[in-house]
Every structure is written in C-alpha cells, then in structure tokens.
C-alpha cells in the first residue's frame, strides 16, 4: 500500500515536470531563450565535469600548465557540442522530411520546427560561452581567425533561430562541426606526449578525410543547392540573404586555409615516419 502511494506521488511529480517542460521550457515563444540558457549551462557543466574527471583519471592533466588545463576543459566542451549539433544537423538535413522538396508547399527557406529551433539555440549558447572564453584568455584559446569564425557563426545561427529563415543552410554549414572531435583529439594526443604514436598518425588521416568531405565537398554541394533554390532565397529578409551567401563564402575561405595547414602537417608526420 505504501509503495503504491509512493509510486502515485512519483507519477504525479513526473507529470508536473513533463507539463512544465512542454508548456513553458519548450513553448514555441520561449524555445530560443530557454535553449540558449540551456546551452550555456551545459557548457559550464561539461567544463566542470571534465576538470573533475581529468584530475582523477589522467595523470598528465596535473602536469599541464594552467592555460593548458583550461584549453583541455574547453576542448571537451566543444567536442560535446560538435557531437550534438552534428547529429541534429545530419538528421534534419538528410533523414527528416522537414527540408524535403517534395514534402511541403512552403518555401524551403522558411521551414522550421520546435526541435530545429531548439538545437540552434543550444548552439548559440555554446558559441556565446566559447567566444567569452576566447576573449577572456585571448589569444591562448585562439587568435583572430577563431574570433571571426565564432562571430560569423553566432550571428548566422542566431538570426536563423530567431527568424526561422534559412535553417536548412545553417544546418548544412553546422555539419562541418563533425571535424571538431578529431581536431580536439589531436590536441589531447599532443598534450599527452603521444605525437609519435600510431594513433596520432591515424588521427591525422581521419581529419584529412573528414575535413575534405565536411568542410570542402559539402560546402560545394551547399552552394549548388543555393543556386538551385535562389528564387526562394530572394524572398528571405535582406540580412538573411546576405548571411546565406557571405557567411558560407567566408567560412569556405577559412576552411581552405586550414585545409592547406592540415595537408602540410600530415605530410610532415608521414615524412617523419619514413
């Protein structure tokens, strides 16, 4: 009898929690704000948990300098965000029917959903948190190119989230975050003194392939998609039109510059192996 009452109480609290999440936290007008706040808090939580976990389980962590430990924790934060937003982007762009040409009469540039807006809000929260850290520790966590990259990404993602316009192209660009875990793993291997290991070499090859697919070829596909649907893009807000064209172009230039550095680094690693 007592167990039954406790179960009923638990179900009552569970129903209230579900109702709160559905009617308040995930209510359409509040999604942009709750998701941004959630993204910032998630970053803080991952940062703190990484610090706690690494102190206990990684001997090399304690031997790092203060700024290296900050970067260690920061890269864990960016890795979790990359996994989340890449998964959401791949699902929304290639698996769901939200942006399918054959599923809706609504213009593809104006389609959005609660889940797509929520995911963009979490990403905005991450870019705010990460940009804040970059400024605070500048230039230890990244130079001017990182600031430019994050500012462009923040403006584009925030506009798409708030207006509901051009979300398809925002997600196409965000798929490029799939390269982030590999880049961060490379830094971890270097920090752990494993630069001469086989894992470091394999990591370099994987980064090369992932970068080529996600940051070069995918951008080419996106520009082709923009060309095919340019009549729909012209009906977006003028600022949105600029973002759809200018931001991917700017990021493409940066991706090509970084790709050349990746090739040089991979060649150097392979040369040392021979």
Three-class HEC string of 70-132: HHHHHHHHHHHHHHHHHHHHHHHHHHCCCCCCCCCCCCHHHCCCHHHHHHHHHHHHHHHHHHH
- What integer is the mean pLDDT of 16-35? 66
| DSSP-H helix ranges across 192-237 | 198-211, 218-228, 230-233
- What integer is the mean pLDDT of 223-227? 96
Share of the chain above pLDDT 90, in %: 75
pLDDT at 131 over 60: yes
Q: Phi/psi zone of residue 41: left (φ > 0), alpha (ψ -120 to 50 degrees), beta?
A: alpha
Share of the chain above pLDDT 70, in %: 89
Is 24 a member of any domain? no
What's the domain range around 194?
A: 32-272
Separation CA 23–CA 76 (nearest Å)? 32
Separation CA 127–CA 43 (nearest Å)? 10
| Helices 180-191/198-211 angle, 10° precision | 160
Residue 25's pLDDT band, with cuts at 50, 70 and 90, is: low
Is 128 a member of any domain? yes
* Whole-number pLDDT of residue 195: 87
* Whole-number pLDDT of residue 15: 63
* Whole-number pLDDT of residue 135: 96
Residue 13's pLDDT band, with cuts at 50, 70 and 90, is: low
SS3 154: helix
Is 113 a member of any domain? yes
pLDDT at 268 over 90: no
* Whole-number pLDDT of residue 266: 86
pLDDT at 2 over 50: no
Separation CA 93–CA 12 (nearest Å)? 38
Residue 30's pLDDT band, with cuts at 50, 70 and 90, is: confident
Q: Which of 94, 98, 116 is nearest to 107 (CA)?
A: 98
Condensed to tens digits (0 to 9), the pLDDT of residues 86-107 reads: 999 999 999 999 998 877 778 9
Is 163 a member of any domain? yes
Long-range contacts: 110-114, Cβ < 8 Å, 24+?
Answer: 110/164, 110/165, 110/235, 110/236, 111/164, 111/167, 111/168, 112/164, 112/167, 114/26, 114/28, 114/31
What is the DSSP-derived secondary structure letter of residue 212? I
Is 190 a member of any domain? yes
pLDDT at 221 over 80: yes
Cβ atoms of residues 154 and 126 within 8 Å: no
* Whole-number pLDDT of residue 270: 81
* Whole-number pLDDT of residue 101: 82
pLDDT at 20 over 70: no
Residue 1's pLDDT band, with cuts at 50, 70 and 90, is: low
Separation CA 12–CA 4 (nearest Å)? 12
Lowest mean pLDDT among 12-26, 94-108, 242-256: 12-26
Q: What angle do CA 225, 237, 248 make, to 5 degrees?
A: 40
**226/266: higher pLDDT:** 226
Is 5 a member of any domain? no
Residue 250's pLDDT band, with cuts at 50, 70 and 90, is: very high
Residue 228's pLDDT band, with cuts at 50, 70 and 90, is: very high
Q: How many residues does the chain have?
A: 274
Task: Give the number of other CB atoms < 10 A from CB of residue 128.
Answer: 17
* Whole-number pLDDT of residue 28: 65
Burial 246-262 (b: 16+ CB within 10 A, else e): ebbeebbebbeebbeeb
Is 70 a member of any domain? yes
Q: What angle do CA 134, 139, 144 make, to 5 degrees?
A: 80
Is the pTM higher than 0.85? The answer reads yes
What domain count does the chain have? 1
């Amino acid at each position: 009898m007592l167990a039954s009452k406790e179960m009923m109480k638990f179900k009552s609290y569970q129903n209230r929690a579900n109702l709160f999440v559905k009617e308040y936290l995930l209510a359409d007008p509040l999604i942009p704000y709750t998701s941004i706040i959630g993204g910032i808090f998630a970053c803080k939580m991952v940062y703190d948990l990484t610090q706690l976990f690494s102190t206990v389980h990684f001997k090399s962590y304690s031997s790092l300098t203060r700024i290296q430990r900050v970067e260690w924790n920061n890269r864990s934060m960016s890795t979790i965000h990359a996994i989340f937003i890449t998964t959401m982007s791949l699902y929304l762009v290639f698996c769901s029917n939200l942006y399918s040409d054959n599923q809706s009469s609504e213009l593809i540039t104006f389609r959005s959903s609660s889940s797509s807006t929520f995911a963009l809000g979490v990403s905005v929260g991450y870019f705010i948190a990460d940009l804040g850290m970059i400024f605070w520790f500048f230039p230890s966590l990244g130079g001017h190119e990182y600031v430019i990259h994050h500012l462009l990404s923040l403006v584009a993602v925030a506009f798409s989230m708030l207006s509901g316009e051009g979300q398809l192209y925002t997600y196409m660009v965000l798929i490029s975050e799939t390269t982030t875990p590999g880049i961060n793993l490379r830094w971890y291997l270097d920090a752990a003194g494993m630069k001469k290991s086989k894992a470091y070499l394999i990591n370099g090859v994987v980064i090369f392939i992932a970068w080529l697919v996600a940051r070069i070829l995918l951008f080419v596909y996106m520009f082709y998609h923009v060309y095919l649907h340019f009549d729909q893009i012209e009906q977006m807000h003028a600022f949105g039109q600029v973002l759809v064209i200018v931001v991917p172009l700017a990021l493409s230039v940066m991706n090509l510059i970084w790709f050349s550095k990746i090739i040089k680094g991979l060649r150097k690693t392979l040369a040392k192996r021979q």
